[in-house]
Amino acid sequence: MRMRRLATDQTGATLVEFGLISTLFVTTLLGFLDLGHSLYMQSVLQGAVQKSARDATLESGKAEAQQGLLDDMVRQRVMNLASNATVSFSRRYFRDFTKAAQQTAEAYQDINGNGLCDNDEPFQDNNRNTVWDKDGGDNGQGGAKDDVVYTVRITYPRLLPVAKLIGLPANVTVEARTVLENQPFGEQGSYGAPLVGHCV
């Protein structure tokens, strides 16, 4: 008789049902919060990069010390949100905006057919920097009237520990970039005729 009453007893059923779905509900909620934080970090980083890049295109942006100050401004904005973030910067310059937007690799002869520029294969060194450039650009801020692709990449631990539960990596990597033209504070440089280089 007691066993029959226990089998039909509905007391506590809601608590058991909540226990079954709460793990999934809380994990989903934490996942959305983590995604929202990543999107917010992307937005803040993009804004900081665009402001820094605008400042870098001024005449004083050519100086390495000035570029360091601009990078520090971006780093500070990021560190306010993720104090344990790793921040890396790169600047690649091109002679015109079309080349900066297309980022076309320098032509090379793929002798061994592996799709890589290697094993002393010849390439056309358009910017005369002695290395094959997969985007056709050159490192640095460039000079007057050059177009600069300014890229900042940050890596930071996830805000919430939900990543392990759903198989995501423990760190988030966010990248922002912008393209701006240096001011015409002088005559634009030129590379001269392309040279033939050899891939490493």
Query: Mind listing the pLDDT tens digit for each residue in 32-66?
Result: 888 898 899 999 999 988 888 777 766 555 667 77
Share of the chain above pLDDT 90, in %: 32
Has residue 92 been placed in a domain? yes
Six token digits for residue 141: 């801020």
Has residue 8 been placed in a domain? no
Structural domain boundaries enclosing 59: 13-198
Structural domains in the chain (count): 1
Q: Which amino acid is present at 106?
A: E
Has residue 2 been placed in a domain? no
Has residue 1 been placed in a domain? no
Has residue 141 been placed in a domain? yes
DSSP code at position 83: T
100, HSE (Cβ side, Cα atoms, 13 Å): 23
The per-residue pLDDT for 21 is: 87
Q: Which of 107, 120, 103, 128 is nearest to 190 (CA)?
A: 128
Has residue 89 been placed in a domain? yes
- CA distances in angstroms from 184 to 62, 101, 161, 188, 189, listed in the order given: 12, 20, 49, 8, 11
Query: Mind listing the pLDDT tens digit for each residue in 118-171?
Result: 999 999 999 889 999 999 999 988 888 888 899 999 999 988 877 777 777 889
The per-residue pLDDT for 35 is: 86
d(CA 106, CA 119): 16
Residues in the chain: 200
R_g of the chain computed on alpha carbons: 27
Range 4-13 average pLDDT: 70
Has residue 87 been placed in a domain? yes
Has residue 5 been placed in a domain? no
